[in-house]
Amino acid sequence: MLRTKITNRLLIVILLIIVPPTTINCQLATDGNILSFQNRLRFGNYLYYEKDYLRAADEFKEYLRSESNDTIVFRLANSYFQIGRYTEAANNFKGLFFGSQLSEEARLMFYESVFFQNDYKLFRVLAEEQNFGSSIYSKDIERLKYISYFLDNSRLPEENLVLKSFPDSVQSRLLNFYQQKKFPKYKSITTSVILSTLIPGAGKIYTGEVGDGITSLIATALTTYLAITNFKADHQFRGWMFSGLAAFFYAGNIYGSAASAQIYNARIQFNFDNEVRLFFEHRNYFLPKIDY
Amino acid sequence: MKIRLKVIFFLFAFVFAVKAQDRLSIQLDFANNLFNNKQFYDAITEYKRFQFFDSTKTFNYEINYKIGECYKAGAKYDDAVKFFSLAELNARTDDELFDSKTQIIRTNILRRTSDRALQLCNELEKDQRFSGKRDQINYWRGWAYIFADKWDEAAKSFTRINSNHELKKLAEQTEKAKVSVTFAKVISYILPGAGAIYTGKFLSGLMSLGWNLLSGYWTINSFVENRVFDGVVIAELVWLRFYRGAIQNAEEFAQEKNLEVSNKSLRYLQNEYKGIRP
């Protein structure tokens, strides 16, 4: 009797040791099928937290074929957002606008998705849309709308309207951007061309290319001088050659001045765009961080 | 009776475990199949899925290694290095450790971080565990030098494996076919255009020589005719421009020629070389 008891207990102990292998694969959900919808969801979530958004999106899409889940739709949309597929992100966020607990966040993220498509005109049209508006994040969306004015060629709204949406700490910086955008310090192409026609190189000096301007002046003057002296010394070929060179330098100086003014203006625009973009990027466009 | 029940329970539990394990085996086979069919994106997904569900983590080395290979094949070198490093951490034997380390070196070679590849080769060489694998280390060191465009150093590395090594011969031939940039410049100082001719650009070299002779003649002629200022200006604006141009051209042509030679050898390695490549 005692022996049987000991044997039984021993068996139980052995079972307790051996049975855990059934739970070795505890990652598998109850049905044990790796590709079941629940397991796809778990795997998708794992990929999502690992920031492998492209694969996570595929898993979420598969899972959503089985059942509807707002959080997963949000994650699917956010996965697309993270990998820069903004159109798909916007479409998926739109699906959460009505009857979802994540409606407010989805609306904000929808606007972000449209904003990052770089179609700022469309963004502003949508920002005015009452049906899409968010009650919690309306200020963030409005701020994003004013930021969009700095990023394209549209006419800026009133200074006060723009500035009041931003925190005090950046007011002076934004005012500076506003002034630069409204009154860019461009150089006139016509003035540059006229100056170079009168004095070779003057147009370039006007656009800030002092070295190039002086070189232009010297090259034109010297080749003209050489042409004259060679004609005087009866070297016809050299005379004509240096005349041609002088004409070339003179014409080139006028064309170069126009180009220089254009380049100057493009540089001003490029630097401004870069500076503004960096400023907003550095502050995440003043957007709250949302993740589920 | 009780014992029978327990035995049945045990068998049930065992069968369940085996079944789950079977599913994982199928998953691994599926991932391997994708890998063998060069469907690397899908293979990564399935390897990751296997890794996620396999809580025994028995295959951690193999899976990370395979994922690394997939990323490498897809030219995602940073990700590849990350997974080969994970494989390295999970290596169970010296051979596995060596393989994962060499894969990191090979990926570094491909992403042109040759200095890092060479540094890793040196570290491997110093490690006593791999003293029997010197040839392999020298082989990859040679490749790192090739990608760093140091063919003479590459030849030295391959010589350490075998003095008749195919790649040693190729590296030597490549080095020999290259031209000296310094020499091209120096002879252009002495005779404008000579550097271009030396690099095989005959027409350009002769044109350069012609322009220099003409502008030199004009300069001297101006001085002869006592038009000193003309002479100085022509020398500065015309002659000096062509003289300096000839030297600069010689340098550029020599660099271009060397690049062509290197590229030809690299193309051979890419398309025709039968041995193991990074």
Is A27 close to B227, i.e. CB distance below 8 A?
no
Read off the tokens for B138.
Answer: 């020298």
pLDDT over threshold 50, residue A26: no
Domain shared by A196 and A259, yes or no = yes
- Return the number of CB contacts < 8 Å for A and B: 84
- Print burial letters for B92-108: b (CB count within 10 Å at least 16), e (below 16): eeeebbbbbbbbbbbbb
- Residue A177 is assigned to a structural domain of this protein: no
Average pLDDT over residues A212-239: 93
B237 CB neighbours in chain A (<8 A) are 219, 222-223
Counted domains in chain A? 2
Single residue among A152, A179, A212 that ends a domain in this structure:
A152
Residue A22's pLDDT band (cuts 50, 70, 90): very low
- Interface residues of chain A, partner chain B, Cβ below 8 Å: 7-8, 11-12, 15, 18-19, 21-22, 24-28, 32-34, 39, 42-43, 46-47, 52, 55, 58, 219, 222-223, 225-226, 229-230, 233, 238
Average pLDDT over residues B132-141: 95
Q: What is the DSSP letter of A235?
A: -
- Residue B72 is assigned to a structural domain of this protein: no
Counted domains in chain B? 1
Q: What pLDDT was estimated at residue B9? A: 53
A12 CB neighbours in chain B (<8 A) are 6
- Residue A7 is assigned to a structural domain of this protein: no
Domain shared by A198 and A252, yes or no = yes
- Residue A27 is assigned to a structural domain of this protein: no
Domain shared by A205 and A146, yes or no = no
pLDDT over threshold 70, residue A12: no
Residue A289's pLDDT band (cuts 50, 70, 90): confident
Burial-class residue B119 by CB neighbours within 10 Å (0-12, 13-18, 19+).
Answer: middle
Distance CA(B57)–CA(B74), nearest Å, equals: 25
* Host domain of residue A61: 37-152
Is B237 close to A223, i.e. CB distance below 8 A?
yes
- Residue B57 is assigned to a structural domain of this protein: no
* CA-to-CA separations, B172 to B10, B163, B184, in angstroms, rounded: 69, 12, 21
Q: Which one is predicted more confidently, B158 or B5?
A: B158
- Residue B240 is assigned to a structural domain of this protein: yes
Q: What pLDDT was estimated at residue B79? A: 96
* Host domain of residue B239: 181-268
- Chain A nearest-CA residue for B24: A34
Average pLDDT over residues A12-29: 48
pLDDT over threshold 60, residue A222: yes
Residue A99's pLDDT band (cuts 50, 70, 90): confident
CATH of the domain at A110: 1.25.40.10
- Residue B130 is assigned to a structural domain of this protein: no
Q: What pLDDT was estimated at residue A134? A: 80
- Residue A16 is assigned to a structural domain of this protein: no
- Residue A165 is assigned to a structural domain of this protein: no
* CA-to-CA separations, A209 to A184, A194, A196, A258, A263, in angstroms, rounded: 19, 16, 12, 12, 11
pLDDT over threshold 60, residue A11: no
pLDDT tens across A236-258, in order?
Answer: 999 999 999 999 999 999 999 99
B218 CB neighbours in chain A (<8 A) are 238
Is B23 close to A229, i.e. CB distance below 8 A?
no
Least Cα distance to A84 among A109, A126, A49, A116 occurs for A116
Do A12 and B6 meet the contact criterion of CB atoms below 8 Å apart? yes
- Residue A250 is assigned to a structural domain of this protein: yes
Write down the mean pLDDT value for chain B.
92
pLDDT tens across B77-102, in order?
Answer: 999 999 999 999 999 999 999 999 99
Q: Is B44 helix (H, G, I), strand (E, B) or coil?
A: helix
**Nearest beta carbon to residue B230 from set A32, A46, A229:** A229
- Residue B246 is assigned to a structural domain of this protein: yes
Separation in Å, CA of A25 to nearest CA in chain B: 6
pLDDT tens across B9-60, in order?
Answer: 555 555 555 555 678 899 999 999 999 999 999 999 999 999 999 988 899 9
- Residue B194 is assigned to a structural domain of this protein: yes
Domain shared by A247 and A141, yes or no = no
Q: What pLDDT was estimated at residue A247? A: 96
In chain A, the percentage of residues whose pLDDT exceeds 70 is 89
pLDDT over threshold 70, residue A15: no
Least Cα distance to A243 among A257, A254, A230 occurs for A230
The H or E element containing residue B236 is none
Q: Over B96-130, what HEC string results?
A: HHHHHHHHHHHHHHHCCCHHHHHHHHHHHHHCHHH
Domain shared by A45 and A142, yes or no = yes
Separation in Å, CA of B206 to nearest CA in chain A: 22
Domain shared by A148 and A46, yes or no = yes
Least confident interval from A14-28, A189-203, A216-230, B147-161: A14-28
What letter represents residue B273's amino acid?
A: Y
Q: What is the DSSP letter of B239?
A: I
Domain shared by A259 and A209, yes or no = yes
- Chain B nearest-CA residue for A52: B45
Separation in Å, CA of B13 to nearest CA in chain A: 6
pLDDT over threshold 80, residue A1: no
- Chain B nearest-CA residue for A42: B52
Q: Which one is predicted more confidently, B5 or A261?
A: A261
Single residue among A152, A170, A201 that ends a domain in this structure:
A152
Q: Does B30 touch chain A (CB under 8 A)?
A: no
pLDDT tens across A146-168, in order?
Answer: 999 999 988 999 999 899 999 99
Residue A7's pLDDT band (cuts 50, 70, 90): low
Single residue among A152, A180, A202 that ends a domain in this structure:
A152
- Residue B262 is assigned to a structural domain of this protein: yes
